[in-house]
Amino acid sequence: MGRRIRYLRKEKGMTLDDICALVETAPSHLSLVENGKREPKLSLLKSLAAALGVSVDDLLGAEPPSRRAALEIELERAQRGPLYDSLGLPKVRISSRLPMDVLESLVGLQRELEHRLDEQAATPEEARRANTKLREEMRQRNNYYQEIEQEAGRILKAAGHTGGPLSHHRSADIAEYLGFSLRYVGNLPHSTRSVTDLKNHRIYLTQSTRADHDPRSVLLQALGHYVLGHQTPVNYADFLSQRVATNYFAAALMMPEKETTDFLHQAKKERALAVEDIRDAFAVSYESAAHRFTNLATEHLGITCHFQKVHESGILHKAYENDGVNFPADHTGAIEGQTICRYWTSRVVFDVADKFRAFEQFTDTVNGTYWCTARTERHSSGLYSLSIGVPFEHVKWFRGRDTKERCQSKCPDENCCRRPPADLSSTWFGNAWPATRANTHLLAAMPTGAFPGVDETEVYKFLEEQA
């Protein structure tokens, strides 16, 4: 608005003194208005509009009055932004004396810098932002996707599944119902868990000795892409969303909504909810059972909760929450790769001797008291803890609520567990030099391609050989 007033004043060939004599205000005051340092009262706006021969709406217009004004506004906004601040450069005084070519150069440089940073965003940073956005969507939906539940229910009914754990045989029946034949091969491309030949309706799998992935789940996820009508991902966010959807689809087949909710309602009635019971009842992994609990707990039981998968190093691998727990996060809101407080159940469980049964603990945090149940599982990349937690108000429905284990977490206060205790620091500060492990993945950009990390040439050659 200030630039619009200045532009109109100069178009009429008026100085500050000239127009101030008409509107009865001090030139210093109007100068502050024109420079955006002060907002004028409505009475002054009316007087200015009359003196300049325009309407008040004309003065309040959103469009800059000239190209120069647009450049000045863009530069001023850029200099107020975090990117410019991070450069540590002095701010350029924007005035009518600033040459036009200098103004254009400064704005052009700022645009190019932002463009190059955006290009570099195709790195783990892009994945983290996409994951943060997806987690927000999951929180808003309480991690419940009705449309996928309905599709899974329809397919189970059509395939003749009447109850109980979904067997390998029944999983193959589902594939056959959907028109796919299965092929087990020993030369599956190394970057894939399965390859689907959509031309010949074949799904290629491998008989892996690794326990990280349930063979049924791998097959059902492959079918999920087909059933849910997925197209080639257009970006990493699309890829990530599709993966979450197919994981959900597979879980909804292996732990059907009605059976699982009936099971959970009965357990809640008996005040004996337990993730390991879901695992045992449906013959799935503890991690799958924990994920499925988050799908159904809020929608069907009215229980808010959170889930964590934490590496033995204390690094958060993946998580979900709709109960207000204060996960550590960076400035973008991303939580993956952050270090979990060492007093949380997901960290304490690593030091528990009894690995056969679940470990329960109450944790007093800055956001309230939470009860969590956790256990550890070994994967190819190390030992992980898997935990489900709920606010104190919901603990009455769970087995293990009588635990005497309790910890207090003051995170994100660095004095909680980020800094070494004073007695240790006084002894060892300056006298320790750890040799860190070089994690080369931290330096790597996001894998390229529609399916990140997959060598499409290798996949096409594989399919050609099989055909």
Residue 421 predicted with pLDDT over 60: yes
Residue 399 predicted with pLDDT over 60: yes
Q: What is the mean pLDDT of residues 198-227?
A: 85
pLDDT category of residue 280 using cuts at 50, 70 and 90: very high
Could you give the maximum distance between any two Cα atoms of the chain, in Å?
91
Q: What is the mean pLDDT of the chain?
A: 87
pLDDT category of residue 268 using cuts at 50, 70 and 90: very high
- Over pLDDT 90: what percentage of the chain? 48
Residue 80 predicted with pLDDT over 90: no
pLDDT category of residue 86 using cuts at 50, 70 and 90: confident
Q: How far, in Å, CA of 54 to CA of 284, rounded?
A: 73
Q: Which of 117, 116, 96, 113 is nearest to 105 (CA)?
A: 113
- Of the two residues 7 and 450, the one the predictor is more confident about is 7
Q: What is the mean pLDDT of residues 215-240?
A: 90
Q: Which of 218, 376, 389 is nearest to 293 (CA)?
A: 389
**Which pLDDT belongs to residue 88?**
84
Residue 209 predicted with pLDDT over 70: no
**Which pLDDT belongs to residue 123?**
56
Residue 307 predicted with pLDDT over 50: yes
Residues pairing with 383 in the sheet: 378
Window from 15-29, 47-61, 120-134, 344-358 with minimum mean pLDDT: 120-134
pLDDT in tens, 160-185: 898 888 999 999 999 999 999 999 98
pLDDT category of residue 443 using cuts at 50, 70 and 90: very low
- Of the two residues 101 and 421, the one the predictor is more confident about is 101
pLDDT in tens, 12-53: 888 888 888 888 888 888 888 877 778 888 888 888 888 888
Residues 6+ apart with CB under 8 A from 342: 314, 348, 417
pTM (2 d.p.): 0.70
Residue 434 predicted with pLDDT over 80: no
- Over pLDDT 70: what percentage of the chain? 93
Q: What is the mean pLDDT of residues 121-141?
A: 80
SS (H, E, C) the chain: CHHHHHHHHHHCCCCHHHHHHHHCCCHHHHHHHHCCCCCCCHHHHHHHHHHHCCCHHHHCCCCCCCHHHHHHHHHHHHHHCHHHHHHCCCCCCCCCCCCHHHHHHHHHHHHHHHHHHHHHCCCHHHHHHHHHHHHHHHHHCCCCCHHHHHHHHHHHHHCCCCCCCCCHHHHHHHHHHCCCEEEECCCCCCCCCCEEECCCCEEEECCCCCCCCCHHHHHHHHHHHHHCCCCCCCCHHHHHHHHHHHHHHHHHHHCCHHHHHHHHHHHHHCCCECHHHHHHHHCCCHHHHHHHHHHHHHHHHCCCCEEEEEECCCEEEEEEECCCCCCCCCCCCCCCCCECCCCCHHHHHHHCCCCCCCEEEEEEECCEEEEEEEEEEEECCEEEEEEEEEEHHHHHHECCCCCCCEEECCCCCHHHHCCCCHHHHHHHCCCCCCCCCCCHHHHCCCCCCCCCCCCHHHHHHHHHHHC
Tokens for 287?
């991690």
Q: Do 256 and 296 form a contact (C-beta atoms < 8 A)?
A: no
**Which pLDDT belongs to residue 430?**
80
Window from 61-75, 120-134, 355-369, 437-451 with minimum mean pLDDT: 437-451
Residue 122 predicted with pLDDT over 70: no
**Which pLDDT belongs to residue 191?**
80
pLDDT category of residue 124 using cuts at 50, 70 and 90: low
Q: Pick from 196-210, 369-383, 437-451 the range whose average pLDDT is largest.
A: 369-383
**Which pLDDT belongs to residue 442?**
46
Residue 93 predicted with pLDDT over 90: no
